[in-house]
């Protein structure tokens, strides 16, 4: 919707039967500048393709369609770590489409806000500086302001890891542990995010930008966030709609494996992994976090 302000956009989906009013984006009518198609070869004629799939669905999608996507500019919006390969979306794309230029678009941004034309700032990460600069210009609009970086690892880990911490923040609020507990989770969670990202080759300053701290702030403080709401339901012991995309749940499991492998201490992320697979109660999680050995900040 935002990019159609710059010119014609083709929107591909497996099922376009819903027409110009997608139930996943209530209250938004797709503008006429958007052409809808369920024909992937037709859509994939474009030079730049934005892939807006959940992180755990991207690998399967690429297994079916990678040959049609190669040698393009491929921009992923997914915020997660693939559970089977333990890599981010940029690696999945680069492996499946070796001749493509891969980029990541991430940062604090609710789809509903962007579709309403509300001002939003994002990070465009591309290892190739020239391609990154061109994408930054092509994908910015008067209300969608893109900052660029070549640190793809940092940008995509910021987006993936903030979802895990947002679940923990939601648990704290849902369980009635209070705003002070949430602030502690956000701050110590940010330390965990930066620690793992640095071990995996990211620049710490990327984590302090829009894709990390920016998106962490948004997602831990807004009930618009599905990850936060899921955590809230967990904390309050209430049911949650299983059809809702909650990237942080699978990513917490991936992070548990990665952090063990890297020898990286991530107690909040580990707690989220255990809460989401029901192997720990909220009371036990809170007690365990508070009774860890005292340490320097
Ligand atoms: N919604 C937001 O506000 C927002 C903002 C920024 C980033 N993101 C990220 O973007 C990614 C997608 O999120 P979303 O909110 O659009 O998720 P969503 O679940 O609402 O929509 C994903 C769509 O992908 C489709 N899909 C799933 N598997 C597919 C496949 N194999 N082939 C074709 N289509 C398939 C689903 O049918 C669904 O329509 C996530 O990683 C999310 O974290 C979302
Ligand atoms: O609804 P969430 O929790 O998936 O968050 C959406 C975006 O990632 C916010 O930047």
Contacts of 46 (CB under 8 A, 6+ apart): 10, 72
Ligand-binding site membership of 107 (annotated):
yes
Ligand-binding site membership of 156 (annotated):
no
Provide the residue-wise pLDDT of the chain in tens; the chain has 297 residues: 999 999 999 999 999 998 999 888 999 999 999 999 999 999 999 999 999 999 999 999 999 999 999 999 999 999 999 999 999 999 999 999 999 999 999 999 999 999 999 999 999 999 999 999 999 999 999 999 999 999 999 999 999 999 999 999 999 999 999 999 999 999 999 999 999 999 999 999 999 999 999 999 999 999 999 999 999 999 999 999 999 999 999 999 999 999 999 999 999 999 999 999 999 999 999 999 999 999 999
ipTM, two decimals, is 0.98
Helix (H, G, I), strand (E, B) or coil at 236: coil
For the question of whether the overall pTM of this predicted structure is more than 0.95, the answer is yes
- Domains in the chain: ranges and CATH: 3-152 (3.40.50.720), 153-290 (1.10.1040.10)
Q: Is 162 one of the catalytic residues?
A: yes
Residue of 162, 192, 161, 178 whose CA lies nearest to 286: 178
CA–CA distance, 181 with 267 (Å, rounded to integer)? 15
Find the angle CA(80)-CA(95)-CA(216) to the nearest 5 degrees: 20
Q: Ligand 2: residues whose CB is within 6 Å?
A: 79, 108-110, 163, 166, 215, 218-219, 225-227, 247
Q: Ligand 1: residues whose CB is within 6 Å?
A: 14, 24, 52-55, 57, 60-61, 77-80, 109-111, 245, 247
Note the helical H segments in 4-128: 40-43, 55-69, 89-96, 111-115
* CA 55–ligand 1 middle distance (angstroms): 8
Is-contact 104 156, C-beta < 8 A?
yes
Ligand-binding site membership of 225 (annotated):
yes
């Amino acid at each position: 919707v935002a990019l159609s302000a710059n010119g014609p956009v083709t929107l591909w989906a497996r099922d376009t039967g819903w027409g110009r009013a997608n139930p996943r984006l209530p209250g938004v009518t797709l503008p006429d500048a958007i052409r809808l198609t369920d024909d992937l070869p037709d859509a994939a004629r474009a030079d730049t393709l934005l892939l807006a799939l959940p992180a755990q669905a991207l690998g399967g999608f690429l297994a079916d369609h990678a040959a049609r996507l190669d040698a393009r500019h491929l921009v992923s919006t997914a915020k997660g770590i693939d559970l089977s390969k333990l890599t981010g979306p940029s690696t999945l794309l680069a492996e499946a489409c070796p001749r493509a230029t891969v980029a990541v678009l991430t940062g604090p941004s609710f789809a509903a806000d962007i579709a309403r034309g509300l001002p939003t700032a994002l990070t465009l990460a591309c290892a190739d500086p020239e391609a990154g600069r061109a994408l930054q210009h092509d994908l910015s609009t008067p209300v969608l302001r893109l900052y660029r970086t070549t640190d793809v690892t940092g940008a995509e880990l910021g987006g993936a890891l903030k979802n895990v911490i947002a679940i923990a923040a939601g648990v704290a609020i849902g369980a009635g542990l209070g705003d002070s507990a949430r602030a502690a989770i956000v701050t110590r969670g940010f330390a965990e995010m930066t620690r793992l990202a640095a071990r995996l080759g990211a620049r710490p300053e990327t984590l302090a930008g829009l894709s990390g701290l920016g998106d962490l702030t948004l997602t831990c403080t807004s009930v618009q966030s599905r990850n936060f709401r899921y955590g809230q339901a967990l904390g309050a012991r209430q049911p949650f709609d299983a059809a809702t995309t909650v990237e942080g749940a699978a990513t917490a499991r991936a992070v548990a494996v990665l952090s063990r492998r890297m020898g990286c201490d991530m107690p909040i992320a580990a707690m989220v992994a255990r809460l989401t697979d029901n192997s720990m109660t909220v009371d036990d999680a809170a007690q365990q976090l508070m009774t860890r050995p005292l340490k320097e900040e």
